[in-house]
Amino acid sequence: MVFKRLWFWGLILLVVLSFSAVWAVEEVQPPYSFDVTAEGYAQVMFDQGYNLYQEGRKEEAIQFFIEAVSTKPNFIKAWKWLARTYQEEGMYDEAIWAWGKVLELAPDDNHAAYFREKCENYKKYGKAAWDSFEEGIVAYQSGDYFSAIPLFEEAIRNNPEFDKAYYFLGAALIKVEDYHRAVWAFEKYLTFHPDDEKAQYFLKVAQKGAANLQ
């Protein structure tokens, strides 16, 4: 009989202690939730990626930008920074894809269109060759042919298969009346595009100019 009573009161004590432990846990729980919205989370991921980018830790930044756009697919700013970072890291296929995503969200974004085309040309011709060529085009269009010529030549040195560089080199050489070299440039261009009637015409101009100098 005594044993049964001790067992009963022991059981009661165990139940009371169990409830006390639960109450103690509940008392230390915060009176609010730490739930974050998807938009807020995406912004946090973008901010972290941007900070890493500023520190020069671009490979790590890419992962945070990816997380931001994965969480919020219409996050244009994050897409732009992802594309820019891919481009600067020489990941041109990825950059073309990311700039394309920007254009899906903002079709009239000329900045994004320019950089997507730039990445396509980096991939096709090589970064060094395209940068020299593009700088040469700026000089050519401003009428500074003497500055444009060495830039086109530099583009060709970096990529001997750069067809457009031969064309504009030939055009610039005609402008400064260096006809013999212009003949060579257009002949090289026509090996890539033998049916280009405009280039055929300029070759004849260069050949006539060269003949008159003899």
Say if 45 falls within a structural domain: yes
Same domain for 101 and 133, yes or no, is no
For 69, other C-beta atoms within 10 Å of its C-beta total 21
Q: Supply the pLDDT for residue 213.
A: 76
Say if 62 falls within a structural domain: yes
Which residue among 125, 145, 165 closes a domain? Answer: 125
Same domain for 51 and 85, yes or no, is yes
For residues 152 and 168, the answer to whether their CB atoms sit within 8 Å is yes
- Strand (E) or helix (H) holding 165: helix 163-175
Same domain for 78 and 100, yes or no, is yes
**Helix (H/G/I), strand (E/B), else coil: 112:** helix
Q: Supply the pLDDT for residue 38.
A: 85
Q: Supply the pLDDT for residue 15.
A: 40
Same domain for 80 and 144, yes or no, is no
What values do phi and psi take at 108, rounded to 5? -95, 10
pLDDT tens per residue across all 214 residues of the chain: 544 444 444 444 444 444 444 333 344 444 434 456 888 999 999 999 999 999 999 999 999 999 999 999 999 999 999 999 999 999 999 999 999 999 999 999 999 999 999 999 999 999 999 999 999 999 999 999 999 999 999 999 999 999 999 999 999 999 999 999 999 999 999 999 999 999 999 999 999 999 987 6
Domain boundaries, position 161? 127-212
pTM of the predicted structure, to 2 decimals: 0.77
Which amino acid is it at 90? G
Same domain for 104 and 162, yes or no, is no
For residues 137 and 148, what is the distance between their CA atoms, to the nearest angstrom? Answer: 7
Same domain for 172 and 162, yes or no, is yes
Q: Supply the pLDDT for residue 36.
A: 67
Say if 153 falls within a structural domain: yes
Copy the structure tokens of residue 182.
């212009």
Say if 8 falls within a structural domain: no
Which residue among 125, 154, 179 closes a domain? Answer: 125
- In total, the chain counts a number of residues equal to 214
Say if 2 falls within a structural domain: no
Which residue among 102, 125, 148 closes a domain? Answer: 125
Number of domains, the chain: 2
For residues 66 and 82, the answer to whether their CB atoms sit within 8 Å is yes
Instruction: CATH number of the domain at 82, please.
Output: 1.25.40.10
Q: Which residues contact 60 (CB under 8 A, 6 or more apart)?
A: 49, 52
